[in-house]
Amino acid sequence: MTPFFKKLFPIIFKYIEENIQQDTPVVHFETHDVLKSQLNLAIGEEGVSVDELLMFIENQYLKYSVRTGHRQFFNQLFGGFSSVGFLGDVVTSLTNTSMYTYEVAPVAALLEKEVLNKMLSLVGFKHGDGTFVTGGSNANYMALLCARNKTDPTIKKRGFANSALVLFVSDQAHYSFERAADLLGIGSNNLVKIKTDNNGQMMVDELNKEIVRHLEQGKKPFFVAATAGTTVLGAFDPIDEIAQLAKQYDMWFHIDGAFGASVLLSRQHKYLLDGSELADSLTWDAHKMMGATLMCSAFLIKEPNFLKQTCAVGGTEYLYHDEDECYDLGQISLQCGRRVDVLKLWLLWKHYGDRGYEACIDHVFELAKYANQQVAEHPNLELMTPTQSLNICFRYRPNSQTDINTFNLALREQLRRSGKTLVNYAIIKGNVVIRLVIVNFELSKTDIDTFFANVLSVAKTLS
């Protein structure tokens, strides 16, 4: 194995070093047809050598993959590269264990309990529980599952038909709620999307009207979700006000903090989650604003022991033997086999500490303000919504009579194909906007300047 690693490590080192070089593209863009023709993807009857595999990794896979650690990658709600997080992933694969029992994952089970208790404390769930899941979507699914079973404990065994249950989310909420309603048999027609204001925040008076309307129809409102950091606008719903309505109507109150829950680590910005302790559950993606590698998501719940009540079933005696019951974490998970996602987060948190993370989060918020200022000061750039966190939604206004939406779609596509900058777009009230998301801790104002220079350069060629 030693010759193998001697060849592998230089490939890794080269890739990491290239990420910070200015002339390295974020992506070597090719259409899927062209790329497929260039890659030898077929699996034959006979195997190939390890050297051939390393050549594929270096010269094809890494070459054409998007460099999410690049300082011009602004495409998603995650970005950057952490050597400490990478270490966690390497050791996780090296040990190759699963999180279902203390017997096979003793240190990992202790770490997961420790990290979850830390997160629960920050949210305000003093005696709560939690589990790591395979992404924020699955955490939202868990919330809806718990709420369903809490509303009617008999559903778990008898199932139901013609459900009268109704859930409420904002019209800016993540699509995972609609998918969860489908999977749980509640039905996507029983998901009600509440209007948001110009900031993208749920309008609580509209929520109240919809709850009353559905009660009058004989429905059972049972679940409402606030979003703490919406996908497009980065908006934070009014948690306190939604919590009051949830209590008034005896509804499960969930916070989708997949993106924004990490602000709890910042004394300056944690006000955005004021009232989080009033929720029944919360989603938290550490692979977003905490810089962990994908995936690193937690589902947190206020009521102790309810996760086990919800997830545990019979026929597991072969696996769970009672002696380590409180650390047999498979009992509070929908999965049996589950990757050790906690190690990378524990290593990162141990490395940064609370204050180090606070400094990082405050830093990216300051960069978002700086980017917002860059838009405001340029005559051809237009801010499309107020910047509330780390999402800056803007567009370029050409001097010509060109259709603005068509122009901005072309602008974004040209940026993507150039490899100089990768940034996404969204549609807000019929308008195409460039959605700049700043989450990479390693970014500086120079990187933001480079981003806007690239945008303006491409816009000039299109004008």
Q: 90-348: which CATH topology?
A: Aspartate Aminotransferase; domain 2 (3.40.640)
Convert 262-284 to b/e letters by CB count within 10 Å (16 or more is b).
Answer: bbbbbeebbebbebbbbbbbbbb
DSSP 61: I
Distance CA 284, CA 296 (A): 9
- The tens place of each residue's pLDDT in the chain, 463 residues long, gives 678 999 999 999 999 999 989 899 999 999 999 999 999 899 999 999 999 999 999 999 999 999 999 999 999 999 999 999 999 999 999 999 999 999 999 999 999 999 999 999 999 999 999 999 999 999 999 999 999 999 988 887 777 766 789 999 999 999 999 999 999 989 889 999 999 999 999 999 999 999 999 999 999 999 999 999 999 999 999 999 999 999 999 999 999 999 999 999 999 999 999 999 999 999 999 999 999 999 999 999 999 999 988 888 888 888 888 766 788 888 889 888 999 999 999 999 999 999 999 999 999 999 999 999 999 999 999 999 999 999 999 999 998 888 999 999 999 999 999 999 999 999 999 999 999 999 999 999 999 999 999 999 999 999 8
Those residues with Cβ within 8 angstroms of residue 27's Cβ, 6 or more apart along the chain or in another chain: 64, 65, 66, 67, 416, 419, 422
Residue 186 CB burial class (10 angstroms; 0-12, 13-18, ≥19): buried
pTM score, whole prediction: 0.95
Angle, helices 342-377 vs 445-462, to 10°: value is: 50
CA distances from 141 to 78, 128, 184, 447 (A): 21, 18, 8, 37
**Helix%, strand%, coil% for the chain, nearest 5:** 50, 15, 35
Per-domain residue ranges of the chain: 2-68, 90-348
Task: Name the residue among 64, 65, 67, 83 with its Cα closest to residue 75.
Answer: 67
